[in-house]
Amino acid sequence: METQIASPAAPPRDKPLPFILRFFQVFESLGVLVMLLVLFGVMAAIKPVYLNVNNLNNIVITGSIIAVTGLGMTIAVAMGDLDLSVGSNQALTACIAADLLTRTSMPLTIGATLLIGLMIGVVNGMIISRLKVPAFVATLGMMSVLRGAALLYTDGQSILIMGYDDFAALNTSKVLGLPMPFIIALVTLLVFYVLLRHTPFGRHVCAIGGNENAARATGLRIGLTRVIVFGLVGMAAALSGIMLSAQLLFVDGTLGKGLELQAIAVTVLGGTSLAGGGGNLPGTLLGALLIAAINSALNILKVPPFYQYLALGLLLILALTLDTARRAVIKRVVSGGVR
């Protein structure tokens, strides 16, 4: 029962945010878009082949696969946690999907793989909330466990996916002219967006990320929320595992190394603060596309593949530097201007 205060009290005097803060809020998601456009501009000038349909298609597909993991990670970051096990999770689920495909129907394969991803995430969540192990170390431990599991599952061998055209279509088919993986990423984005921004559950996730003690004192079910969030992260990683095996059609237990870094990087690039309390999901999708675009550009420029590591590392540090600077400016504006 809620207290009714249906009063003829004065209407709320709305005090809009000052312009500069609104500007920064917009910049949070537009910053990465600007970087993306600049990259396309530069590449169009020096290597026009970069902009051909095939290459763009590849960028979008690769980006979408990273994005799906990143979207899950964004929710974990909104709750103030990280999941470092997504890479191993992706490897294990990709192998399981490839293996199940030879044994059963495709819908069952997808369903079972997603369920396994969910279970992995739930285990993560249980370890963190029940055993009170800090998320970052718990998932670091799980990263090792799941990597071992993936290698054991495949016995160190590769699995070749041949003759499953409907499975490969998950990667190659198009809807409304857009690659299927991109559609999957968009649907994931939409679902997660509504979940995070417009359901009580999502608001509780942000509340826990913002101030866990306050959330506990308010009586939110922190343990349950955390288990669900990690379940979602695990499921998203499994979905990206399925997408990856459909793309590669050739999987083994060493897939997905460094994916946790990519997922965190796209989250931060997209304007989500590692401090927790909120998540910019559209930004994450853009961040993933940016990373895919950079990797593709390096490939086209015939830069050795290990420079991609360098680019990723530097980009992450750059994104975090910008985030720090942005928050410093906001703080100065707030303390100097608003109040």
Partner 1 sequence: MWPGEPGHTPNPTFDLFRTDCHTQHETSKGNCVVEPILEVKQITKQFPGVLALDHVDLELIPGEVHALVGENGAGKSTLIKIIAGQYQATSGTLVMNGKTVQFDNPLQSQSAGISVINQEFNLIPQLSIAENIFLGREPRLKTGLVDWKKMNARSAELLAELGLSLSPRLRVEYLSVGDLQLVEVAKALSRDFRVMIMDEPTAALNSAEVERLFSIIDSLRQRGVVVLYVSHRLSEIFRIADRVTVLRDGRRVDTRAVQGLTENDIITMMLGRELADYVVEKGADPEGRPALSVRDLTVPPTLRGASLDLHYGEVLGIAGLIGSGRSELMRALFGIQSPSGGEIAIDGKPTVIRNAMQALREGIFMLPEDRKLEGIFPDLDVIDNLVIKRPRYDESALARFFLALSAERSKYQEIRDKLSIKAHSRTQLVSTLSGGNQQKVLLGRALVSQARILLLNEPSRGVDVGTKVEIHELIRQMAQEHRAVIVSSSDVPELVKVSDRCIVMSAGHVAAVLEGSQITEDNILACAVAHKKLEG
Partner 2 sequence: MTAITDASALHEAQPRGPLYWIQRILTQYTIQCLLLVVVIGLSLTNDNFRQEANILSVLRQASFAGIGAAGMTLLIINGAFDLSVAGLLGLCGVVLAQVLPDINVLPTVLLTVVLGTALGVANGLVVTKIKIPAFIATLGMMYVYLAIGFIITDGQVVPVTNKAFRNIGTGDFLGLPIPFVIMVVTYVVLYGIMQYTTYGRFIRAVGSSENASFVGGIPVDRVKIFAFALVGLCTGLAAVALTGYLSSAQPIMAEGYELRVIAAAVVGGTSLKGGSGTLFGTFTGAMFFTVINNALNLFNVGAYWQYVAVGMIIITALGIEALRHRFGGVFRGT
Among 90, 146, 185, 204, binds partner 1 (CB under 8 A): 204
Find the helix or strand (DSSP H, E) in which 178 lies: strand 178-179
If binding is defined by CB under 8 A, does position 215 make contact with partner 1?
yes
**47, 104, 167, 237, 251 from 107: Cα distances, Å:** 41, 9, 10, 18, 19
The dihedral through the CA atoms of 109, 111, 116, 117 has a sign that is positive
CB 243 within 8 A of CB 114: no
Query: Does 152 sit near partner 2 (CB under 8 A)?
Result: yes
How many whole angstroms separate alpha carbon 65 and alpha carbon 68?
5
Number of residues that bind partner 1 (CB under 8 A): 44
Residues within window 201-260 making contact with partner 2, judged by CB under 8 A: 253, 258
What residue 314 binds from partner 2, partner 1, none (CB within 5 to 8 A, per partner kind)? partner 2
- In this structure, the strands spanning 174-175 and 159-160 are unpaired
Shortest distance, position 146 Cβ to partner 2, whole Å: 8
The stretch near partner 2 (CB under 8 A) out of 1-9, 238-246, 292-300, 310-318 is 310-318
**For the window 277-316, what string marks contact with partner 1 as x by the rule CB under 8 A?**
xx--------------------------------------
Strand partners, 175: 178
Q: Of these, 34, 198, 258, 313, which contacts partner 1 (CB under 8 A)?
A: 198
Question: Does residue 42 sit in helix, strand or coil?
Answer: helix
310 contributes a contact to partner 2 by CB under 8 A: yes
- If one asks whether residue 86 binds partner 2 (CB under 8 A), the answer comes out as no
In the block, tokens 């000052």 appear at 18
- Cβ-Cβ contacts under 8 Å for 24 (sequence gap 6 or more): 326, 329, 330
CB 306 within 8 A of CB 55: no
Site for partner 2 contains 332 (CB under 8 A):
no
| Strand ranges in 30-139 using DSSP code E only, listed in sequence order | none
Query: Which helix (DSSP H) or strand (DSSP E) does residue 1 occupy?
Result: none
Q: In this complex, which beta carbon is closest to partner 2, that of residue 76 or of residue 149? A: 149
Asked whether position 10 contacts partner 1 by CB under 8 A, the answer is yes
Judged by CB under 8 A, does residue 19 bind partner 1?
A: no
CB of 140 to partner 1, least distance (A): 23
The site for partner 1 (CB under 8 A) is made up of 1-17, 194, 198-200, 203-204, 206-207, 209-211, 213-220, 276-278, 334-336, 338-339
